[in-house]
A and B are shown apart, each in its own frame.
Chain A
Amino acid sequence: MASRYLGLISRQYHRPLKACLVNNVPICQQQFSTTSVNKLKEIQKKTEGQLTEIEGIHVESGREGKILNVENPQKLCPLCPQKLGVEVKYTDVLILRQFLRPDGCMIPREVTGLCLSAQRRLQKLVHRAQRSGLLSELRPPLPDDRQRTSHKSNYKWRKYNIFYDDD
């Protein structure tokens, strides 16, 4: 039975979009448009009675004139030492925070444009910066709306300073 239903569903999805009509109203209405470069989309939700509108509005990225301007004919990734001239260390927290969300998660490399090896290396650097307490602001909130009293844990050996040297 399950396979029969699955077949039905898949056949339905294989149809072109125009044919997906229920009572002459299209189920899925997608509109494609092009926008100028470096614009973000912000999703806004409006509710008026029983009607809810969800809309994607273009917003400026807030990074105009702040992008590092380096000649890059080879199209190297943003963290490439060949492009920057220096190798990023775990103590360069102002660089690391650009690749992190407010709760400390890493942004996927499809968004940041990093190559795979740079993403792996960044993962290591972020881990080290977190362990040595340098990224204390970028952490997930505690449950039950509890507030952190210090930027470091008070647990046994974790309250001491840590450094890493082999990079």
Chain B
Amino acid sequence: MAHHRVQQWATFARQWWVYDATWQCPFRSAPAIIKHLQGKHKPIYHPTNDCGDHVVVINSKHIAMEGDLWRTFKYSHHTGGKDSEDPDLETFSENVPDEILKNLSGQIQQVMTVPKGIHEYTEEEKAEFPALFDWPQDHIMMRSGPSKPKQ
């Protein structure tokens, strides 16, 4: 008979979660992170109850934005002053201290699937993948390799 003792302790303690932000949309991963920060994933949640957890977001340098947003999106941060401007979104890289990494006890699931580029597949994987069509009869193939650049 399980008594869920540890689950009970963890609910009343502050847990440390890790979230890998590679290829994740910041706007979509925010709700997933907020849920853990506010403690809404716990059954004892109440607005007056301070039961939130800690979240460590790693690889935030490698987040992804949709379409043209990296160029067009302005982070609304102006002070209302005369010379104030909306800055572009920027990314920074900093190493997480080991003291913090020691506390981690769980991982938040990523909201988006990470795509795999063609440079990440091995030659065997590329060769074994089934082909969708065969070359037509008497097709003349260019075996000379890629075309030369325009001078």
Contacts and interface: CB of A to CB of B under 8 A. Distances in A.
B135 A111 contact: yes
Interface in A96-151: 97-98, 101-103, 105, 111-113, 132-138, 140-143, 151
Contacts of B143: 42
> What DSSP secondary structure best describes chain A's contact surface?
loop
B49 interface: no
Nearest to B25: A163
A91 B116 contact: yes
B131 A161 contact: no
Given A94-B126, A141-B149, A162-B64, A132 B115 contact: yes
A102 B145 contact: yes
B119 A140 contact: no
Contacts, number: 130
B65 A162 contact: yes
Assign chain A's interface to a size class: 35 or more
Interface in B126-145: 126, 128-143, 145
B147 interface: yes
A19 interface: no
B139 A111 contact: yes
Contacts of B64: 132, 160-163
Interface of B: 22-23, 25, 62-67, 70-71, 91, 112-113, 115-119, 121, 125-126, 128-143, 145-151
15 contacts: A35-B138, A59-B141, A67-B132, A91-B115, A95-B132, A97-B118, A98-B131, A103-B147, A132-B64, A134-B117, A141-B146, A160-B64, A161-B64, A162-B64, A163-B23
Interface of A: 35, 37-43, 56, 59, 61, 63, 66-68, 78-79, 91, 93-95, 97-98, 101-103, 105, 111-113, 132-138, 140-143, 151, 156-157, 160-165
